[in-house]
């Protein structure tokens, strides 16, 4: 029987920190929008904040798979960073600290990092996706 390997404690703390920061940010922005802008468009933005905050919890599902958790932290962190910068006018820039937490979580454990090719290709894919989104 093979023992299950878990994510290192330090890496797990950074990943949980990123998810908590994203959840608190989403809740605060959502409540502010509902209370301040009592319009239909304000209530529709709340769902975008909730989805963005929920996306940061994806790496937490992979506790028993360290390499997958590190890669998920990296992909979600890079995506969240690109998303927050692209939609800064909709107050998504407040999710930038959560993105930084997740990016740090991907590289904090020396024995469990995403890998060189993966680390190079993910930002290039994010740049390509942002470029494609600007032309749509």
Q: Report pLDDT digits (tens) over 107-117.
A: 888 777 777 78
Rounded CA-CA distance 66/35 in Å is: 41
Rounded CA-CA distance 41/36 in Å is: 12
Q: Residues for the chain: how many in total?
A: 136
Whole-angstrom CA distances from 46 to 39, 68, 112 are 11, 30, 35
pLDDT of residue 22: 93
pLDDT of residue 21: 93
Placement of tokens 């209530």 in the chain: 43
Report whether 89 contacts 43 (CB < 8 A).
Answer: no
- Specify whether the backbone of 115 is left (phi greater than 0), alpha (psi in -120 to 50) or beta: left
pLDDT at 25 over 90: yes
pLDDT at 1 over 50: no
Local confidence band at 4 (pLDDT 50, 70, 90 cut-offs): low
Q: What is the pLDDT of residues 57-103, one digit of tens each?
A: 999 998 888 888 888 988 899 889 888 888 888 888 899 999 989 98
Residue 45: how many CB atoms within 10 A of its CB? 18
| Angle ∠(88,62,49) on CA atoms, nearest 5 | 25
């Amino acid at each position: 029987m093979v023992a299950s390997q878990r994510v290192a404690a330090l890496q797990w703390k950074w990943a949980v920190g990123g998810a908590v920061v994203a959840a608190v940010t989403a809740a605060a922005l959502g409540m502010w929008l509902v209370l301040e802008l009592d319009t239909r468009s304000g209530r529709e933005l709340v769902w975008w904040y909730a989805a963005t905050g929920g996306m940061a919890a994806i790496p937490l599902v992979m506790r028993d798979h360290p390499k997958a958790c590190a890669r998920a932290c990296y992909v979600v962190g890079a995506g969240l960073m690109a998303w927050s910068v692209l939609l800064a006018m909709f107050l998504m820039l407040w999710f930038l600290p959560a993105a930084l937490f997740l990016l740090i979580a991907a590289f904090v454990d020396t024995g469990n990092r995403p890998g060189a090719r993966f680390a190079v290709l993910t930002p290039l894919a994010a740049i390509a996706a942002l470029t494609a989104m600007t032309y749509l």
